[in-house]
Structure 1
Amino acid sequence: MAKNFPISPKHPERICWGCDRYCPANSLACGNGSDRTMHPAEMIGDDWYLHGDWGIEPLITVEDVTDDPGLKG
C-alpha cells in the first residue's frame, strides 16, 4: 500500500519525493547519481494540489459554530 502523500511538509527540500521510500536528500536509494525529486509545492507553490487531477481531496475546515449568533438561546 502506498504511503499518504503530505500536502504541505515542513522541509520538503530534505526529502526525495520520487517514490514511496521518501529518502533523505543526501542518501538516495535510487543510486546511479540520481538527483532528488522535488515536492510539487517546491515547483508549483503551496496550493499545488488545487491545480490538476492529483487524486487528493483537500481537507475541509469547519468554522466554530459557537460564534454563530443564531445559535445563542
Structure 2
Amino acid sequence: MAKRFPIRPSHPERNCWGCDRFCAANDLICGNGSERTQHPVELFGDDWLEACTDEADRVLAPPGQPAPDPQR
C-alpha cells in the first residue's frame, strides 16, 4: 500500500518525492536519478492542489458535457 502523499509538508526540501519511499535528499536509495524530485508545493506554490485539481477537472470532463467553471 502506498504512503499518503502530504499536501503541505513542513520541509519539502529534505525529501525526494519521486516514489513512495520519500527518500532523504542525500540518500536517493531508490535509484530514481541523481537529483531529487521536488514536491509540487516547491514548484507551484501553496495552492498547487487547487490549480492541479481545476486543470484535471477540465481535462477529464466527460464528452458532451461542459467543463466545470474554474471560478467556482
**What TM-score, normalized to structure 1?**
0.66
Distance 1:29 1:19 in 2: 11
| Cα separation, partners in 2 of 1:38 and 1:32, compared to 1, 3 Å | closer
RMSD over aligned CA atoms reads 2.2
**Which stretches in structure 2 are left out of the alignment for 5+ residues?**
57-72
> How big is the shift at 1:44?
0.2
> How big is the shift at 1:32?
7.6
**What is residue 70 of structure 1 aligned with on the other side?**
none
**Mapping of residues 9-20 of structure 1, within 5 Å:** 9-20=9-20
**Mapping of residues 45-56 of structure 1, within 5 Å:** 45-53=45-53
> How big is the shift at 1:34?
1.6
Q: Is the 2:15–2:24 Cα contact (8 Å) retained in structure 1?
A: yes
> How big is the shift at 1:8?
0.3
Would you say how many aligned residue pairs link Structure 1 and Structure 2? 55
**What TM-score, normalized to structure 2?**
0.67
**What is residue 60 of structure 2 aligned with on the other side?**
none
**Which stretches in structure 1 are left out of the alignment for 5+ residues?**
56-73
* Identical-pair percentage: 65
